[in-house]
């Protein structure tokens, strides 16, 4: 829509409309809960630190929970909703079933916040802050999480199946999937760096392991014992074998030596348009940290529900 008009009154209202449409995140603020729930950030940080200390992998799980939430109709905590008679939720969608974790940690945080500030803090904001705190707990960069998201009253399994990028995507497919959400190829590469932590199931990389040639032979052999050609679908391997619980730039260095675990990982490096970005992050961890943090802020701003839209769930698993 063209934001211009020749007459004064229509021009004013058109400009106002364009401003409102173009600033979905304008209603989000880093100080949203400063008076209504001043302990929100410390409460979330403490719970995340405890969870990650108990199991380092949980940091990656909470980060991924935020990503899988935001890429499906925006950052609205729809991923947390259990199935109901009215809708089939996202938990059992292909990319999430037997895979997405961290629901219990979010429940714990929500329970603590409901005790301190009943009906104030949204599940969507908890997920967004927990993702940031998880990265920090594993040595990554911090960023200011804008707050004020509200929670959805529905979920969509079909949207989850169609919007979350698959590990089988080609480079062009990855660029397209992220472009659909407003991200540049550079931002896609930065966000892919989240695979410097966490683990993947054998079923997601078996085809790469046994059928692809752009994989380090020694690396492949080391993985096959835990990921046989048939069976062992849920056996886990780290996405970054070098430092799987440290949020660093080793993921990109692994790609340079054909040690990307997923097909989609190695697509980022192999003669394509993103090689230079992988090289840049491999040689300069500070650049990666900065770009990743900026991209995470942008992701957290995907189509939030604000104002009177949505609700503040009392229980993150069900609508009020």
Beta partners for 150?
305
Query: If you average pLDDT over residues 115-131, what whole number do you get?
Result: 98
Distance set, CA 282 to CA 196, 197, 237, 275, 318 (Å) = 12, 15, 22, 10, 42
Distance set, CA 108 to CA 44, 104, 164, 311, 317 (Å) = 9, 6, 26, 19, 12
Query: If you average pLDDT over residues 106-121, what whole number do you get?
Result: 98
Lowest-pLDDT range, 9-13, 66-70, 147-151, 295-299?
Answer: 9-13
Query: If you average pLDDT over residues 216-229, what whole number do you get?
Result: 97
Please check whether residue 266 is in contact with residue 215, taking contact to mean a CB–CB distance below 8 angstroms. yes
Mode of pairing for the β-strands spanning 236-238 and 199-201 = antiparallel
Judged against a pLDDT cut of 80, whether residue 111 lies above it is answered with: yes
Judged against a pLDDT cut of 70, whether residue 131 lies above it is answered with: yes
Instruction: Provide the pLDDT confidence category of residue 27 given band limits of 50, 70 and 90.
Output: confident
Which backbone phi and psi does 29 adopt, to 5 degrees? -150, 140
Judged against a pLDDT cut of 80, whether residue 138 lies above it is answered with: yes
Element (H, E) at 173: helix 171-179
Please check whether residue 183 is in contact with residue 295, taking contact to mean a CB–CB distance below 8 angstroms. yes
Please check whether residue 262 is in contact with residue 167, taking contact to mean a CB–CB distance below 8 angstroms. yes
Judged against a pLDDT cut of 50, whether residue 7 lies above it is answered with: no
Burial class, 225, CB count within 10 angstroms (exposed 0-12 / middle 13-18 / buried 19+) = exposed
Query: If you average pLDDT over residues 161-173, what whole number do you get?
Result: 97
Lowest-pLDDT range, 23-37, 57-71, 268-282?
Answer: 23-37
Q: Which of 66, 68, 195, 263 is catalytic?
A: 68
Tell me the two tokens of residue 70. 């935001």
Judged against a pLDDT cut of 80, whether residue 10 lies above it is answered with: no
The question of whether 68 is a catalytic residue gets the answer yes
pLDDT cut 90: percent of the chain above it: 91
Instruction: Provide the pLDDT confidence category of residue 26 given band limits of 50, 70 and 90.
Output: low
Higher pLDDT, 13 or 100: 100
Distance set, CA 13 to CA 4, 27, 309 (Å) = 10, 19, 22
Judged against a pLDDT cut of 50, whether residue 191 lies above it is answered with: yes
Distance set, CA 99 to CA 13, 165, 220, 294 (Å) = 47, 14, 23, 26
Judged against a pLDDT cut of 50, whether residue 22 lies above it is answered with: no
Query: Residue holding tokens 């009906």?
Result: 119
Helices (H) and strands (E) in the chain, counts: 14, 2
Instruction: Provide the pLDDT confidence category of residue 106 given band limits of 50, 70 and 90.
Output: very high
Judged against a pLDDT cut of 50, whether residue 290 lies above it is answered with: yes
């Amino acid at each position: 829509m063209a934001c211009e008009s020749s007459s004064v009154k229509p021009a004013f209202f058109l400009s106002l409309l364009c401003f409102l449409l173009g600033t979905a995140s304008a209603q989000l603020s880093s100080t949203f809960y400063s008076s209504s729930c001043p302990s929100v950030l410390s409460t979330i940080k403490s719970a995340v630190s405890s969870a990650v200390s108990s199991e380092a992998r949980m940091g990656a799980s909470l980060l991924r929970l935020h990503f899988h939430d935001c890429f499906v109709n925006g950052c609205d905590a729809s991923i947390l909703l259990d199935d109901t008679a009215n809708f089939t939720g996202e938990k059992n969608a292909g990319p999430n079933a037997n895979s997405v974790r961290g629901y219990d940690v979010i429940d714990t945080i929500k329970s603590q916040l409901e005790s301190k500030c009943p009906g104030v803090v949204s599940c969507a904001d908890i997920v967004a802050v927990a993702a940031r705190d998880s990265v920090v707990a594993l040595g990554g960069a911090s960023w200011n999480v804008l707050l004020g998201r509200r929670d959805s009253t529905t979920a969509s399994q079909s949207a989850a199946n169609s919007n979350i990028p698959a590990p089988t995507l080609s480079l062009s497919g990855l660029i397209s999937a992220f472009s659909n959400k407003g991200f540049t190829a550079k931002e896609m590469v930065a966000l892919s760096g989240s695979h410097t932590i966490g683990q993947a199931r054998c079923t997601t990389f078996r085809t790469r392991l046994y059928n692809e040639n752009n994989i380090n032979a020694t690396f492949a052999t080391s993985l096959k014992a835990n990921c046989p050609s048939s069976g062992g679908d849920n056996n886990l391997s780290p996405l970054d074998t070098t430092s799987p619980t440290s949020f660093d730039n080793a993921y990109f260095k692994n790609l340079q030596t054909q040690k990307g675990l997923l097909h989609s990982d190695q697509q980022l490096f192999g003669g394509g348009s993103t090689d230079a970005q992988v090289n840049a992050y491999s040689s300069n961890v500070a650049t990666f940290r900065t770009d990743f943090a900026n991209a995470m802020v942008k992701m957290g701003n995907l189509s939030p529900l604000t104002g009177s839209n949505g609700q503040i769930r009392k229980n993150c698993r069900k609508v009020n």
